[in-house]
């Protein structure tokens, strides 16, 4: 499950089309326990997460993710300054706005409130990418209609459309006017040319090698993470000769 979440986040990052080797400030909508945020960190970006579940945010705090997080309901809008973010991603959360969990909830109104406030807090020319699981075509139409009404352009990118297991749906939204949608993975054209694999994982590994990042969980990786947290003003334990040392498991 963690690997799938990581892969979908990597794909969302690819669809954001951010400038390479430039750290960006990303909004993670429906951040949950911070799994997507961890992928953003490993790609060199800074992030803020929003989630409606205090329990999931508590898990994220226990995991000591580096992004800042806040408790919030997507349907009540995004309360950030105009132009704050270089992009936004959301993994498996958008479809919940189509449900009316309370009698006061109106899915069209909540979707419009969400998209209109999201549009405001994104920098012009940036993108928002949503991986989601719509129940039917009516939900897709409702979501896209409210997004366009809020000022976005864009549309759906469906990876591996002919596969029941690998099929993934992404809503790619633009703030800078009409743009060409990215190509989907696993289409007939790609299968005919033998390029129906998932390229973004390999790309991420190459970029990590180019940047010279230390392997995850190594001593250097832990020291770098602790130093970043110190710069953020957080309480961090002092470094010792035992920092990053692997335990044998025997006492």
Does the pLDDT of residue 47 top 90, yes or no?
yes
Does the pLDDT of residue 85 top 50, yes or no?
yes
Q: How many CB atoms are closer than 10 A to CB 52? A: 16
Structure tokens at 39: 């992928």
Distance of CA 245 to the CA centre of its chain: 31
Q: How many CB atoms are closer than 10 A to CB 106? A: 13
CA angle 227, 229, 230 (to 5 degrees): 65
Output the pLDDT for position 48: 96
Distance of CA 163 to the CA centre of its chain: 23
d(CA 25, CA 239): 29
Structure tokens at 85: 């973010």
Q: Are 161 and 170 in contact (CB under 8 A)?
A: no
Average pLDDT of span 91-106: 90
Count of helix runs (H) and strand runs (E) in the chain: 8, 7
Average pLDDT of span 64-88: 94
Average pLDDT, the chain: 85
Output the pLDDT for position 3: 84
């Amino acid at each position: 499950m963690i690997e799938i979440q990581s892969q979908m986040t990597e794909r969302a990052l690819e669809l954001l089309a951010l400038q390479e080797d430039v750290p960006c400030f990303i909004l993670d909508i429906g951040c949950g326990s911070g799994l997507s945020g961890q992928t953003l960190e490993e790609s060199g970006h800074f992030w803020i997460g929003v989630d409606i579940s205090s329990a999931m945010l508590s898990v994220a705090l226990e995991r000591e993710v580096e992004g800042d997080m806040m408790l919030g309901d997507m349907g009540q809008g995004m309360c950030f300054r105009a132009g704050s973010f270089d992009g936004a991603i959301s993994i498996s959360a958008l479809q919940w706005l189509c449900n009316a969990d309370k009698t006061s909830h109106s899915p069209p109104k909540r979707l419009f409130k969400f998209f209109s406030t999201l549009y405001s807090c994104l920098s012009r020319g940036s993108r928002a990418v949503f991986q989601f699981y719509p129940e039917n075509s009516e939900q897709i139409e409702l979501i896209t209609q409210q997004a366009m009404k809020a000022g976005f352009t864009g549309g759906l990118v469906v990876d591996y459309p002919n596969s029941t297991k690998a099929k993934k749906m992404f809503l790619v939204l633009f703030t800078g006017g009409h743009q060409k949608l990215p190509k989907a993975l696993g289409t007939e054209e790609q299968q005919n040319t033998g390029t129906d694999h998932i390229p973004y994982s390999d790309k991420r590994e190459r970029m990590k090698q180019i940047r010279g990042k230390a392997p995850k969980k190594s001593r250097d990786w832990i020291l770098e993470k602790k130093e970043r947290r110190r710069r953020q003003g957080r309480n961090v334990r002092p470094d010792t000769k035992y920092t990053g040392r692997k335990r044998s498991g025997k006492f």
